[in-house]
Amino acid sequence: MAKISTTDRHRIIIYYQVGLSQREMTKKCKISRTAIQNTIKKFNETGCVEDKKQCGWPNKIKESHEKFLRLQSDKIFSKTDRRYATSYGSID
């Protein structure tokens, strides 16, 4: 299921306040009636249509550090691969 953009949510609320039926909104916005119902319900309960801030633990390492670690692990594994290849006689 695709996420509805904030612009589309605002458009749904404008149509709702003007008095359009959900069926008409479905045809104009090309969004399912269930999504329109949920957007209107959320607006009536909270007064806004924006998503809440997502919670959760922050990343322990930054993207730059993660990239560095990946490069280092690639180097280690490539050296290990060469060592095994020479010991089994694959590389001259």
86 found inside a domain: no
For the stretch 27-59, pLDDT in tens is: 998 999 999 999 999 999 989 888 877 777 877
> Does the structure show a pLDDT above 70 at 81?
no
Helix 22-29 and helix 6-18, axial crossing angle in degrees, nearest 10: 140
Overall number of domains in the chain: 1
Where in the sequence is the domain holding 34, given as residue range(s)? 6-46
> Does the structure show a pLDDT above 80 at 92?
no
Token pair for residue 22? 């959900």
11 found inside a domain: yes
For the stretch 66-80, pLDDT in tens is: 888 888 877 776 666
3-state secondary structure of 88: coil
90 found inside a domain: no
78 found inside a domain: no
